């Protein structure tokens, strides 16, 4: 249920390391889309308020996903912006950065404006393509796209394989301090690969995608960044060596950031022994040693953000032989319980930083802070409530999730985006 108007939150515990109220239980009054007062329980009164009270409820800045695939325009039967909005709200998101891999590709002003025009309960930010049609051949007019409101520039699920294209893009974007996002995967080394190259792929008889396919692109891009200047963000890193390469680049002072998709924190290549096509992903699930390095990279802030890796597919694209299946997992609606399941390895406080502060810092957007006078972008959640993810609770048009039919722990209870208030029972 979504409503508009003033909101009074009562007795909620604030989880926001940027806020003076971090770790404290408070009442919060939201009027006209702004946080007007934060005070002790029972001391606030507002006119025409919706009052939301729930024991053991927590509130944090609104979650931000830096790289959601939505098949709108072009293949709306898989996911459209409306179903993506509903899935995002269930996952706790106030903001989604939409990848340009639609049909047509988001490579002109109309495409950017189309994505942005759907912002209401959730803000949709358009990531525009670096190359026309995301083909990696001819640069788009990034100055025009920036003026139209593009948040950043990327060929999305496709890597910028041509070094001259990447070099020119780094130089071009410096005219307006634009952000380049690259999915690091050498297409020649990964071609026809089905999963991580290692012991498990050998035992299963599946062609592997070597870690080198990721690391060689990161090495190349960092050298070009050092030469040309600018800034670059690596989307979906997955290997131990990738973490170390970026750690050393940051120590050298290069303007580099990166994120990891949450499935790579949840599963390793061992999970593919069941041939579950929902776990066929890009980047692929890697080894236990890689996963441990990713967790360490989050803890020491080498990795700046956690993303959903949301890639919805229709049944015909997933319920096929493993080597014929598309890569990707439905993740937005189950993102919060997935994050909660990591709490023994990655404290929730740190996880929340990586889905709130991290993405906004990378994209140079204003931080969402629990403070008086701030714009209200908030997620209210429980880390203990149980619920079942099934056809009755799934708001997406797709079902390619390993969680389907499972009981999950951790539930988003409400999302506030300015004066929009979406509540879940």
The CATH number of the domain holding residue 155 is 3.20.20.140
Domain co-membership, 109 together with 49: no
Which range of residues forms the domain containing residue 336? 67-362
Whole-model pTM? 0.96
Domain end call among 326, 344, 362: 362
Domain co-membership, 137 together with 262: yes
**Helix (H) or strand (E) run with residue 165 in it:** helix 163-173
Domain co-membership, 291 together with 356: yes
CA–CA gap between residue 398 and residue 408 (Å, rounded)? 18
50: Cα separation from own chain's centroid: 30
**3-class DSSP state for residue 100?**
coil
Give yes or no for residue 66 having a pLDDT over 90. Answer: yes
pLDDT band at residue 410 under the 50/70/90 scheme: very high
Tokens of 195: 């999963």
Among 275, 259, 300, 234, CA closest to 402:
275
The predicted pLDDT at position 88 comes to: 98
Domain co-membership, 39 together with 137: no
Q: What is the pLDDT of residues 67-111, one digit of tens each?
A: 999 999 999 999 999 999 999 999 999 999 999 999 999 999 999
Task: Decide if 59 contacts 9 (C-beta within 8 A).
Answer: yes
Domain co-membership, 286 together with 302: yes
Q: What value, to the nearest 5°, has the Cα angle with vertex 254 and ends 249 and 255?
A: 120
H helices of 276-390, in order, are 288-299, 315-318, 335-340, 348-355, 357-362
Domains of the chain: total: 2
Domain co-membership, 332 together with 396: no
Domain co-membership, 26 together with 105: no
Q: What is the pLDDT of residues 379-392, one digit of tens each?
A: 999 999 999 999 99
């Amino acid at each position: 249920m979504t409503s508009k108007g003033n909101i009074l939150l009562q007795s909620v515990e604030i989880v926001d390391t940027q806020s003076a109220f971090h770790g404290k239980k408070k009442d919060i009054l939201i009027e006209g889309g702004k946080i007007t007062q934060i005070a002790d329980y029972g001391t606030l009164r507002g006119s025409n308020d919706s009052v939301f009270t729930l024991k053991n409820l927590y509130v944090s800045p609104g979650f931000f996903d830096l790289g959601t695939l939505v098949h709108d325009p072009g293949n709306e039967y898989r996911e459209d912006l409306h179903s993506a909005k509903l899935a995002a709200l269930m996952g706790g998101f106030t903001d989604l950065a939409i990848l340009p891999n639609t049909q047509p590709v988001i490579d002109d002003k109309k495409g950017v404006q189309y994505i942005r025009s759907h912002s209401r309960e959730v803000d949709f930010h358009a990531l525009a393509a670096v190359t026309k049609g995301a083909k990696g051949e001819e640069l788009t007019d990034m100055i025009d796209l920036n003026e139209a409101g593009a948040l950043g520039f990327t060929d999305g699920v496709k890597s910028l394989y041509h070094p001259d294209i990447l070099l020119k893009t780094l130089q071009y974007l410096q005219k307006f301090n634009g952000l380049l996002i690259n999915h690091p995967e050498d297409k020649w080394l990964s071609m026809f690969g089905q999963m991580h190259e290692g012991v498990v792929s050998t035992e299963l008889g599946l062609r592997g995608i070597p870690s080198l396919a990721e690391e060689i692109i990161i090495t190349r891009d960092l050298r070009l960044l050092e030469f040309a200047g600018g800034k670059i963000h690596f989307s979906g890193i997955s290997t131990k060596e990738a973490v170390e390469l970026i750690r050393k680049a940051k120590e050298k002072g290069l303007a580099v950031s990166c994120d990891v998709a949450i499935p790579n924190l949840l599963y390793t290549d061992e999970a593919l022994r069941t041939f579950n096509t929902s776990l066929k992903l890009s980047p692929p699930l890697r080894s236990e040693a890689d996963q441990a390095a990713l967790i360490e990279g989050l803890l020491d802030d080498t990795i700046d953000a956690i993303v959903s890796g949301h890639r919805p597919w229709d049944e015909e694209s997933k319920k096929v032989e493993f080597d014929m299946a598309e890569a990707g997992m439905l993740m937005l609606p189950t993102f919060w319980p997935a994050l909660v399941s990591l709490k023994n390895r990655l404290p929730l406080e740190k996880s929340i930083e990586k889905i709130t502060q991290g993405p906004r810092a990378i994209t140079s957007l204003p931080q969402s802070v629990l403070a008086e006078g701030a714009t209200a972008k908030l997620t209210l959640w429980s880390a203990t409530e149980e619920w079942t993810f099934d056809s009755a609770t799934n708001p997406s048009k797709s079902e390619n999730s390993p969680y389907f039919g499972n009981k999950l722990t951790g539930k988003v209870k409400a999302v506030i985006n300015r004066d929009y208030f979406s509540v879940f029972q």
